């Protein structure tokens, strides 16, 4: 006989169970960060070892994040059918399979197989992300949702700081700088042998990752993490939503999904391209590799500020307004300010440090958009969470647009793609979140 899933309303959890649940979800966010931001080192690594141009190398981000768009709705139906805990286990196992696919990809140095592995990892995350983000939004008061998201962001970005450095340590050697200079001068047979040796360095790290992900799936499945009842609505909300038959009837959610699309697209573009931009400024790869960690470090400091300031000193709406306004200013400064500076042992153009500081503006956008977009969805919350997760495909699209302009013009000019992203986010912070009707005459 099939066991019925026992649903729990978020507000009925004891303090102890709430804290333990938040800790479990924090672990999920750490894994999200580790498996996501590790791509920052994979992009330049594959560009060299698989002999790719900018657009081709950025297919790493495309294959990884397009899975969120393709699999978000199927993931929502899966979570509805099997519940959050079994769904999370399945998500981890799909990620483990994706990590294992790196083994035959490395043995044959076939870029397409690597992209399949990345798509599989993204598919697993497309199941995990809506579950984890919906959990953390609903467990506790709505006013503190952005604060809880900030705590999750610290876990995510801590992993993001560690992941590229760990992978770089595992796959790069001190002698590689000289190797990279010699590759164009080698004959075809010698170059292919060198590239085969280079690409096969990913086998051990990703095989270990597969084992860990499989074990985490089992651990979460048998943890005390509750099944949250997302269909429970208060009478007023149930009455307001009684005439709603489709998720499309919540404009503030759809506009929020577009905001997520542009937010993550602009954020990932900065993180995943900064190594390439640093190399265009004549910094060697072994020096440039630390710049994604600088961005993630300053992003994490933004999350820490959010934990302290939200909601006691500032609410999540005003946080979004501050972040979007400062992002526009910093993007303009990136193009306007000239000159070089020596900082943290690097002598480079000032522009690269404006790119790093943008991490602070990006830090709390996600935390603020989620509660604004999910507000008032009631029984549509699970589907709403999956719609927002679909927005993560912005991380697949926006970097490719950047790569196109980087190849056509130069890596510096290509960063103009960030400005329209931040202008729309500015719009959502001041107007879009209030749109409750698709009529142009009505906002609320």
Q: Which domain holds residue 204?
A: 12-229+248-434
The length of the chain is 444
Domain assignment of residue 240, yes or no: no
Cβ–Cβ under 8 Å, residues 428 and 255: yes
Domain CATH code at residue 385 = 1.20.1250.20
Q: How confident is the model at residue 2 (pLDDT cuts 50, 70, 90)?
A: very low
DSSP 38: T
Q: Which of the listed ranges 2-6, 84-88, 378-382, 422-426 does the model predict with the highest average pLDDT?
A: 422-426
Q: Give the span between the Cα atoms of 399 and 98, in whole angstroms.
A: 22
Rounded distance between C-alpha atoms, residue 247 and residue 48, angstroms: 44
What pLDDT is recorded for position 99?
94
Per-residue pLDDT band at 3 (split at 50, 70, 90): very low
Residue 421 lies in a domain: yes
Residue 264 structure tokens: 């993550």
Number of structural domains, the chain?
Answer: 1
What's the pLDDT at 227?
A: 66
- Output the CA angle 378-379-381, nearest 5 degrees: 70
**pTM reported for the whole predicted model:** 0.72
pLDDT band, residue 228 (cuts 50/70/90): low
- pLDDT at residue 72 is higher than 60: yes
- Residue-level pLDDT at 88: 85
Q: How confident is the model at residue 236 (pLDDT cuts 50, 70, 90)?
A: low
Please say if the pLDDT value at position 379 is more than 80: no
The string of pLDDT tens digits covering residues 295-352 is 888 988 888 888 888 777 888 889 999 999 999 999 999 999 988 888 888 888 899 9
Other beta carbons within 10 angstroms of residue 344's beta carbon come to: 10
CA 253 to chain centre: 19
Six-digit token string for 155 = 């876990």
The continuous run of DSSP H or E covering 147 comes out as: helix 145-171
Beta bridge partners of 349: 340
Nearest partner of 422 among 362, 353, 347, 342, judged by Cα: 362
Q: Give domain status of residue 442, yes or no.
A: no
pLDDT tier for residue 183 given thresholds of 50, 70 and 90: confident
What pLDDT, on a 0 to 100 scale, did the predictor assign at position 440? Answer: 60
State what percent of residues in the chain have pLDDT above 70: 90
Is residue 285, in this structure, part of any structural domain at all?
A: yes
User: Is 286 inside any structural domain?
Assistant: yes
More confident residue, 138 or 420: 420
- CA distances from residue 316 to 143, 199, 367, 368, 397 in whole angstroms, order as listed: 8, 44, 8, 5, 27
Range 424-440 average pLDDT: 87
Per-residue pLDDT, averaged over 86-97, amounts to 91
The reported pLDDT for the residue numbered 24 is 85
**Please, what's the b/e burial string for 54-82 (b: 16 or more CB within 10 A of its CB; e: otherwise)?**
bbebbbbbbbbbbbbbbbbbebbebbeee
User: Looking at the domain assignment, is residue 333 inside a domain?
Assistant: yes
Contact 130, 75 (CB under 8 A): yes
Instruction: Quickly list DSSP for 39-105.
Output: HHHHHHHHHHHTT--HHHHTHHHHHHHHHHHHHHHHHHHHHHHHHHHHHHHHHHHHHHHHHHHHHHH
End-to-end CA distance of the chain: 48
- Would the CA dihedral through 128, 131, 134, 135 be positive or negative? negative
> Is 293's pLDDT higher than 50?
yes
**Alpha carbons 444 and 441: distance in angstroms, whole number:** 10
pLDDT of residue 305: 86
> Which pLDDT band, with edges at 50, 70 and 90, does 230 fall under?
low
**Confidence check: pLDDT of 443 > 90:** no
Maximum mean pLDDT: which of 83-92, 204-213, 228-237: 204-213
Those residues whose C-beta lies under 8 Å from the C-beta of residue 399, and which sit 6 or more positions away, are 58, 61, 62, 265, 268, 269, 272, 273
Are 288 and 275 a contacting pair, CB within 8 Å? yes
Percent share of the chain, pLDDT over 90: 26
Q: Look at strands 227-228 and 7-8 and give their pairing.
A: parallel
Q: Which of 88, 300, 105, 91 is nearest to 196 (CA)?
A: 105
| Angle in degrees, CA 272, 278, 284, rounded to 5 | 110
Beta-carbon count within 10 A of 352 CB: 23
Cα angle 405, 408, 409 (rounded to 5 degrees) comes to 80
Domain-located, residue 98: yes
Cα separation of 262 and 256, whole Å?
10
Report whether pLDDT(214) > 90: yes
Q: Residues 139-174: pLDDT tens digits?
A: 766 667 767 877 887 787 788 778 878 888 888 888
In a domain, 76, yes or no: yes
* 93 contacts 213 by C-beta, under 8 angstroms: yes
């Amino acid at each position: 006989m099939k066991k019925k899933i026992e649903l729990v309303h978020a507000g009925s959890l004891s303090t102890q169970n709430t804290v333990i649940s938040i800790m479990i979800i924090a672990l999920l966010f750490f894994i999200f960060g580790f498996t996501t931001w590790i791509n920052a080192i994979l992009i330049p690594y594959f560009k060299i070892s698989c002999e790719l141009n900018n657009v081709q190398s950025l297919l790493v981000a495309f294959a990884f994040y397009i899975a969120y768009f393709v699999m978000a709705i199927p993931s929502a139906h899966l979570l509805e059918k099997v519940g959050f805990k079994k769904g999370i286990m399945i998500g981890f196992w799909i990620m483990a399979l994706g990590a294992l696919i790196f083994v035959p990809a490395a043995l044959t140095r076939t870029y397409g197989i690597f992209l399949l592995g990345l798509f599989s990892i993204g598919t697993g995350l497309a199941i995990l992300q809506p579950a984890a983000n919906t959990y953390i939004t609903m467990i506790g008061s709505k006013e503190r949702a952005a604060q809880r998201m900030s705590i999750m962001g610290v876990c995510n970005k801590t992993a993001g700081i560690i992941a590229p450095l760990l992978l770089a340590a595992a796959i790069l050697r001190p002698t590689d700088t000289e190797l990279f200079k010699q590759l164009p001068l080698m004959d075809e047979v010698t170059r292919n042998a060198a590239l085969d040796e280079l690409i096969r360095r990913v086998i051990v790290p990703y095989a270990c990752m597969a084992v860990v992900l499989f074990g985490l799936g089992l651990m979460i499945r048998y943890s005390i993490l509750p099944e949250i009842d997302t269909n429970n609505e208060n009478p007023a909300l149930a009455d307001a939503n009684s005439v709603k038959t489709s998720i499309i009837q919540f404009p503030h959610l759809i506009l929020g999904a577009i905001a997520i699309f542009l937010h993550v697209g602009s954020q990932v573009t900065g993180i995943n391209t900064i190594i390439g931009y640093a190399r265009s400024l004549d910094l060697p790869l072994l020096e440039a590799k630390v710049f994604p960690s600088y961005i993630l470090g300053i992003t994490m400091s933004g999350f820490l500020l959010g934990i302290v300031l939200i909601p006691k000193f500032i609410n999540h709406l005003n946080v979004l307004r501050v972040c979007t306004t400062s992002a526009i200013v910093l993007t303009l400064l990136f193009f306007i300010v000239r000159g070089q500076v020596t900082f943290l042992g690097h002598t480079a153009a000032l522009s690269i440090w404006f790119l790093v500081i943008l991490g602070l503006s990006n830090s709390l956008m996600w935390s603020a958009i989620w509660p604004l977009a999910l507000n008032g969805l009631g029984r549509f919350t699970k589907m709403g969470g999956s719609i927002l997760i679909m927005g993560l495909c912005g991380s697949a699209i926006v970097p490719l647009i950047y790569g196109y302009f980087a190849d056509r013009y130069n890596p510096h000019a290509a960063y103009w793609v960030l400005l329209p992203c931040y202008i729309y986010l500015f719009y959502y912070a001041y107007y879009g979140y209030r749109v409750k009707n698709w009529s142009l005459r009505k906002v609320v």
